[in-house]
Amino acid sequence: MPNANEDNPSALNQVQRRAVSELLRVSPVADDLARRFQDAGFSLALVGGSVRDALLGRLGNDLDFTTDARPDDVLKIVRPWADSVWEVGIAFGTVGCQKAGYQIEVTTYRSEAYDRTSRKPEVSYGDCIEDDLVRRDFTVNAMAVALPEKEFVDPYGGLEDLAARVLRTPGTPEESFSDDPLRMMRAARFAAQLDFEVAPEVVAAMTAMAERIEIVSAERVRDEFNKLILSANPRRGLRLLVDSGIAGYVVPELPALRLESDEHHKHKDVYEHSLTVLEQAMDLEEGEPDLVLRLAALLHDIGKPRTRRFEQDGRVSFHHHEVVGAKLTKKRMTDLKYSNDMIKDVSLLVELHLRFHGYGTGEWTDSAVRRYVRDAGPQLERLHKLTRSDCTTRNKRKAGALSRAYDGLEERIAQLKEQEELDSIRPDLDGNQIMDILGIRPGPEIGKAYKFLLELRLENGPMEHDAAVAALKEWWAAQS
């Protein structure tokens, strides 16, 4: 890799060492593929995020290449070579394949641009790698390594920006964001993922062009938002989305949390509180980042703006904000095309996040504990984490009391689980037994009887068979 920055040879030497070690690791696969393109009369280069990550010493097994070969020619080259091939992105010039454990994408030199009536990019192919790179989102993603020669291609100063940890666009930000408005969200995502600063002119363009994000499909917006939420520092990216105005078009409930307050009616900053809850929930994750938990933490208070009331004693109340918030969460996630299961899980957590505060001094009955477990269902562990994360008070005494109270609730849940099957609470008699005992055929009465027995089970815990039969007959006689 020749020197691309004579003014800062020490910085280049440092990134060169990292990049060389990374490239040596993938070289057997990359060089083999490059020689096949070369033999067919085409060029091939490692490009974009793969080069950026190699320079950062964090290149994974996903490799991105660019070429002057058209998609049909790419298919002819990779099919005899790859372990498997897929054509999902071929309409956009991308052929995917797998080889020796590497996930590979080969994209023809291209440009993407939107018009104001289309939600999909229009793709046109090019013949020059420099023209391909100028159309990429940021300079740190507009670098390439030509293969198999290992020639470093950096016409737009990406290496210098990488060393400075700053996001700039190869051309003007306005041109870049006009080509693909989703790049505005990508700037926020990279700021969160890589801990980079976003150049002032880029932020200015994001702010001026925020409305253009509406032309992008909901699915692409959702996927980019998920990547931001799952990053190491989502607060940084979310702040940029809110401050630039983009969040107002993507998740308007988030900037709405910045509630105004006055000297007579004070309450904590709900926006800052929500970001802190998100970070505290992240601290409780075990293993991989948990998208359901993070979304619930971020959105748990979005019902507050609609439920805020100023009381006569100077306090501010948000009665039933958890119920309103669950409805708003469901609508927003539906609009962003999340799966039904994820919408259900996140909305449930938002709805239940205040339930623990009825626990008070630990005087819940066993029945209340059973209902807490039953209502949370498979989301109980996430509810534990969300509830603990929702304590952002600086009052150590109050925080300690809340933590101890929740410890007590978890202990009671564990004790009840030892005594009875809390994870799958059901009546002591099933539908067939109900019909046999009452001598009735299938119909709505079975559902009513089942519901009665379930309430009895929640209230009293497991019952002996004879006691359950007696209770069912007594209930049935009262119905008659």
Distances, alpha carbon 66 to alpha carbons 33, 49, 262, 385, 430, in Å: 12, 12, 56, 44, 62
**Cis upstream peptide for 71 (omega within 30°):** no
- Are residue 96 and residue 192 in the same domain, yes or no? no
- Whole domain around residue 121: which residue ranges? 1-164
- Whether residues 211 and 82 share a domain: the answer is no
* H or E segment and range at residue 112: strand 110-113
For residues 186 and 325, membership in a common domain is answered with no
Choose the final residue of a domain: 218, 250, 282: 250
Residues 227 and 314 in one domain: no
Residue 260 belongs to a domain: no
Answer whether residue 258 is part of any domain.
no
CA dist., res. 395 & res. 104, Å (int): 52
Residue 261: inside a domain? no
473 in any annotated domain: yes
Pair 52, 121 in one domain: yes
Query: What DSSP line would sit under 25-75, residue for residue?
Result: HHHHHHHHHHHHHHHTT--EEEETHHHHHHHTT---SEEEEEESS-HHHHH
Domain boundary among 405, 424, 443: 424
Contact 59, 83 (CB under 8 A): no
- Verify that 107 and 54 share a domain, yes or no: yes
CA angle centred on 444, ends 439 and 449, rounded to 5°? 65
Cα 338 from Cα 350, distance rounded (Å): 16
Distances (CA, A) of 269 to 169, 259, 263: 34, 7, 14
Residues 323 and 450 in one domain: no
* Last-in-domain residue among 250, 282, 314: 250
* Within a domain: 264: no
Per-residue pLDDT 10s for the chain (480 aa) are 434 444 555 555 666 666 666 776 788 899 999 999 999 999 999 999 999 998 888 888 999 999 999 999 999 999 999 999 999 888 889 999 999 999 999 999 986 555 555 656 667 788 889 989 998 999 999 999 999 888 889 999 999 999 899 999 999 999 999 889 999 999 999 999 999 999 999 999 999 999 999 999 999 999 999 999 999 999 999 999 999 999 999 999 999 998 755 444 444 689 999 999 999 999 999 999 999 999 999 999 999 988 888 877 777 878 889 999 999 999 999 999 999 999 999 999 999 999 887 665 557 788 888 888 888 989 999 999 999 999 887 778 877 878 888 888 888 888 777 766 655 667 777 778 888 888 888 888 888 887 878 777 777 777 788 888 888 788 888 886
Q: Is residue 255 part of a domain?
A: no
Q: Which CATH number do you get for residue 4? A: 3.30.460.10
Shared-domain flag, residues 405 and 455: no
What number of H helices and E strands is found in the chain?
22, 13
Residues 407, 384 share a domain:
yes
Question: Which is it for the CA torsion 76, 79, 81, 87, positive or negative?
Answer: positive
Judge whether 25 lies within some domain.
yes
Do 80 and 156 have their domain in common?
A: yes
**Rounded-to-10 torsion of CA 397, 401, 407, 413:** -170
Domain total in the chain: 4
- Mark whether 379 and 322 lie in a shared domain: yes
Is 360 within the bounds of a domain? yes
- The H-or-E segment that residue 98 falls in is strand 94-99
| Residues 328 and 201 placed together within one structural domain of the fold | no
Sign of CA dihedral 21, 24, 29, 35: positive
Report the CATH number that the domain containing residue 197 is assigned in CATH: 1.10.110.30
Flag whether the pTM goes above 0.75.
yes
